[in-house]
Amino acid sequence: MHGDYKEWYIDEGPKVEGYYEYGKKHLLWAFWDERGYQRFEEWRMGVLYDTFEYEYYENGQLKEEASYKNRMKHGQWFRYFPDGN
């Protein structure tokens, strides 16, 4: 597989977007779930480097930001109240 990759939920919302380079995940991949949870992964020729996760409250406000490097917690993590503070 080589090139853009996209996958959609039955309701036509995005599920996965990314890119393959000669059969290996490469560059930025984005994932969404039905709960408003969003994750981004940075790949380099099949090797996962960074992951960034975002979770949202039902009102659309950002609830949590998290980051990982080599699948381990990395950097600052942030949690927010439902009003955005």
Residues in the chain: 85
- Joined together, the tokens standing for residue 4 give 């853009």
Task: With residue 78 as reference, give the H or E element that holds it.
Answer: strand 78-79
Band of residue 17 on the pLDDT scale cut at 50, 70, 90 = very high
What confidence score (pLDDT) does residue 36 get?
A: 63
Band of residue 28 on the pLDDT scale cut at 50, 70, 90 = very high
How far CA 83 is from CA of 37, 46, 55, 77, 80, in Å, comes to 18, 39, 14, 18, 8
Question: For all residues of the chain together, what is the average pLDDT?
Answer: 92
**Bridging pattern class, strands 62-69 and 78-79:** antiparallel
pLDDT single digits (tens) 57-82 = 888 899 999 999 988 899 999 999 99
What confidence score (pLDDT) does residue 53 get?
A: 94
